[in-house]
Amino acid sequence: MDHTIQRQLVVQTAKVDALQTQVAHITTLIEQIVLAQTSTKNTSTPQQDSPQGAAKTTTTTKSTTNNVQVNNNTQINILAPCGLRSFDAEDRLIIPAALIKAAFTENPRLAAYCKLTDEEKTNAEAAAPYVLEALMELVKRAHKDPLSRNVYLNPKRADQVLVFVDSDEVKIWEVRPLLEAVRRIFDTVAGNIHRIIVTDAERAQLPYDIQSSASWIPNLYDDEPDKYVKEAKQPMVAHLTNTRPQQTLTEL
């Protein structure tokens, strides 16, 4: 009987020793994992010098750097310059009378439009190319101001854009459908033209031929906005591609 008990004690002792060995091994692994995580958190990626609007590394703490999640869970950092206008604000684009004057003077197609008869200027079909040209030309000129560059193409989806949204609660970049963004942009351009034409002080800054020509752009656009938005898809993609600064959007 004593012999049997001694054998059981030996077996149990061996099991306890094996269990203690396993526990020690697991403890070592946990310590290694914690050490590796601590090392990663304490390591920061050097920040590269970059032009205004360029992306920063993930360790940047500037409040102007915002993150956006795209559909494939890729995180994108975009540095929003101080004073960047919110895409959802009424002043998402600034279009003064001087900008309209320059567009209709320097753009050959718009200069040609000014020379058409009133009947030709108001013909929806014949005037359509000029209307689209005016809308795109004014967008391009407005976007020369860095504070108006509140929209970029989504680098992962050709049919989406990233727009800067600045509200009382948050400052973030949101994903929006491309055509929805084009509609908002064109609505703003048309609205600015209309405001200038009906405001005596601003209208007086335009030569008469530009007054009488530019005044038809918002009217013709408002008659068929969806048509102009659809036709502007490719030109707008090209424009937003051209205005994207080097390394503005960095996939992390």
Tell me, what's the pLDDT at 168?
A: 75
Asked if residue 57 is part of any domain, the answer here is: no
Q: 3-class SS at 66?
A: strand
Examine the domain organization and report whether 120 and 158 are in the same domain: yes
Residue 15 sits in the same domain as residue 78: no
User: What's the pLDDT score for residue 153?
Assistant: 93
Residue with tokens 């970059």: 50
Range of the domain at 185: 65-251
Q: Please check whether residues 74 and 26 belong to one and the same domain.
A: no
Helix axes 97-106, 124-142, angle to 10 degrees: 120
86 and 118 in a common domain: yes
Residue 224 has pLDDT above 60, yes or no: yes
In a domain, 151, yes or no: yes
30 pLDDT band (50/70/90 cuts)? low
The backbone region for 53, taken as left when phi is positive above 0, alpha when psi lies in -120 to 50, beta otherwise, is: left
The pLDDT value recorded for residue 25 is 52
User: Mean of the per-residue pLDDT values for the chain?
Assistant: 79
Q: Is the pLDDT of residue 227 over 50?
A: yes
172 is written with which tokens?
A: 């973030």
Is residue 178's pLDDT more than 80? yes
- Shared-domain flag, residues 215 and 112: yes
Question: Can you tell me the distance from the alpha carbon of 160 to that of 176, in angstroms, rounded to the nearest whole number?
Answer: 6
| Band (157; pLDDT cuts 50, 70, 90) | confident
185 and 152 in a single domain? The answer is yes
pLDDT, tens digit (0-9, with 9 covering 90-100), for 46-100: 444 433 333 332 323 333 556 554 544 455 566 777 889 999 998 999 999 999 9
pLDDT of residue 64: 52
> Do 36 and 145 fall within a single domain?
no
Q: How far is CA 42 from CA 5, 36, 62, 202, 206, in A?
A: 55, 10, 18, 57, 60
More confident residue, 216 or 30: 216
| Distance, CA of 150 to CA of 162 (rounded, Å) | 8
Q: Are residues 34 and 136 in the same domain?
A: no
Please check whether residues 81 and 122 belong to one and the same domain. yes
What is residue 118's three-state secondary structure? helix
Q: Backbone phi, then psi, for 63, in 5-degree steps?
A: -70, -15
Q: What is the rounded distance in angstroms from the CA atom of residue 211 to the CA atom of residue 168? A: 38
Residues 70 and 38 in one domain: no
pLDDT of residue 222: 98
Split into its structural domains, the chain has a count of 2
Q: How far apart are CA 10 and CA 248, in angstroms?
A: 69
Q: What is the mean pLDDT of residues 244-248?
A: 59
pLDDT value of position 15: 58
53 belongs to a structural domain: no
- Which helix (H) or strand (E) is 75 found in, with range? strand 75-79
User: Any idea which residue has 């007054």 for tokens?
Assistant: 211
Distance of CA 159 to the CA centre of its chain: 12
Contact 156, 70 (CB under 8 A): yes
Same domain, 18 and 74: no
CA gap 197, 37 in Å, rounded: 62
| Cβ atoms of residues 84 and 147 within 8 Å | yes
